[in-house]
Amino acid sequence: MKVEQKGHTTVLKHTLNNVEAFVEKITNQYHEFQTQNLILDLSQAKEVSNDCLLHFKDFSRNHTKAKKSIIIVTDKVDIDKIPDYLSVVPSVLEAHDMIEMDEIERDLGF
């Protein structure tokens, strides 16, 4: 896993064999970036499916409850079948844009 920090956002790039191992590694190191907005970059993962993304369910809900954004980056899934509790976009640039919009909404009290 590669970690890249930019301001109030941390980008975690998938470099492991499978998505489940990636989720486990993030969960184990969560204390290091729990106060940051997160971009989980799965764009280099060979096999990503909608079912794989379900591994992020609890992690995503907990991070969102802490008033922080978590965005998953992949273009290998059917966006229309993504559950509402997950935010998935096809590029890192779009993920940064979504975090900015989330920050504005939180600042406005939404």
Using the predicted structure, report yes or no on whether residue 98 has a pLDDT greater than 90: yes
* pLDDT for 82: 92
For the chain, what is the mean pLDDT?
92
Closest CA to 71 of 31, 34, 102, 25: 102
Which domains can be identified in the chain, with CATH numbers? 2-108 (3.30.750.24)
- What proportion of the chain, given as a percentage, has pLDDT over 90? 70
CA distance to 41, 70, 71, 73, per residue, from 77 (Å): 13, 17, 14, 10
Can you give the pTM of this predicted structure? 0.93
Using the predicted structure, report yes or no on whether residue 46 has a pLDDT greater than 80: yes
Residue-wise pLDDT tens digits, 60-95: 999 999 999 999 999 999 989 999 999 999 999 999
